[in-house]
Homo-oligomer: A and B are copies of this chain.
Amino acid sequence: MNTGELYVVGLGPGHPDLLAPRARTVLAAADVVVGYRGYLALLDPWLPLRGVVATELTREVERAVIAVDRAWQGERVAVVSSGDAGVYGMAGLVLEVLAARNWDPEQGPTVEVVPGITAITAAAAVVGAPLMHDFAVVSLSDRLTPWPVIHRRLEAAAQADFVIGLYNPRSARRTAPLEAARRILLAFRRPDTPVAVVRNAYRPGQAVRLCTLETFVPEEVDMFTTVIVGNTSTRVYRGRLVTPRGYRVDAKAPQAP
C-alpha cells in the first residue's frame, strides 16, 4: 500500500469565481500540478502552486504518464484540464494509463476526478439559455477521430433536432471541419437557425457573437471558442439565446408592473 494521491481536476472556464472549492483545495495541496502550459497560466497568480510540470498542448499521454508515475511514487499529484476534466479532458487518459499498468485501487495511488464547469454550459450561461432542451456535444477535432464518425454524429444530431455544441471547432491548421459541419447542419436546419460563437468565456477578452447558420463566419472561430447551434425552437430575445422547453409562459405571466 502506498500513499500516493492522484487527482484529475477540471478548472472550469478559468476564472477564480467559477472554480469549485474542492478543485482549489486539491490544487493548493498538491506536491505537483501537471498540465498544459496555457491552462496552468489561467491559475496564475491567484492560485499559488507548490510544484508544476507544464507541457505543450498535444502532450496529453506524456502528462498522464508523468502524473501516474509520480503518484505511484507516493506524491500528491493533480492533473488539470480546462472545463471539466471528464469531457474530452485528462480523466480518461489517466485511467487508461493506470489500467495499462494494472492499477489496483487497493495498492496503487488513490484516484479522484474533481468535476468542473464544462465549456458548453459556461458558453450557454454567457449567451442565455440555449441548453434548455436535449443537446449533443461533438468535437470537431479529427486528430484522434476519423472524419466519417464526426460527420455521422453531426448528421444524426441535426436530424433529431438536438441543440448542438461544438468543441475544438477550429485551429490554425485544422480549418476544414467547421465549414463542413456548417454545411451538414444546413442540410437539416433552416438557414436562420441561431448560432452562438463564444470565445474565451469568463476569461479576459470574452467575446460573443450571435449569428445564424447562414451568416456564421468560420474564420472567427479558434480553439478558445465554443459554438452552440440552436434546435428548431431556439430563439433570440433581447440578445439572449433561449431554447423554450415547452412551458406555457405567455398565457400565465401577469403583466409587468
- Residue ranges of A at the interface with B (Cβ–Cβ < 8 Å): 8, 10, 12-13, 15-22, 25, 60-61, 64-65, 68-69, 72-73, 84-89, 91-105, 108, 111, 113-118, 121-122, 124-126, 128-139, 144-145, 149-150, 152-153, 155-157, 159-162, 237-240, 242-250, 252-257
Contacts and interface: CB of A to CB of B under 8 A. Distances in A.
A72 B256 CA distance: 8
A131 B96 contact: no
Most buried by B among A10, A91, A134: A134
A86 B136 contact: no
Contacts of A105: 238-239
A249 B100 contact: yes
B99 A242 contact: yes
Contacts of A249: 61, 64, 93, 96-97, 100
Contacts of A87: 121, 124, 131-132
Nearest to A241: B95
A72 B257 contact: yes
Contacts of A130: 86
21 contacts: A17-B20, A18-B115, A19-B20, A19-B21, A61-B249, A64-B249, A68-B253, A69-B257, A88-B131, A92-B129, A95-B129, A108-B256, A115-B121, A115-B122, A115-B125, A116-B117, A134-B138, A134-B139, A134-B150, A135-B137, A136-B157
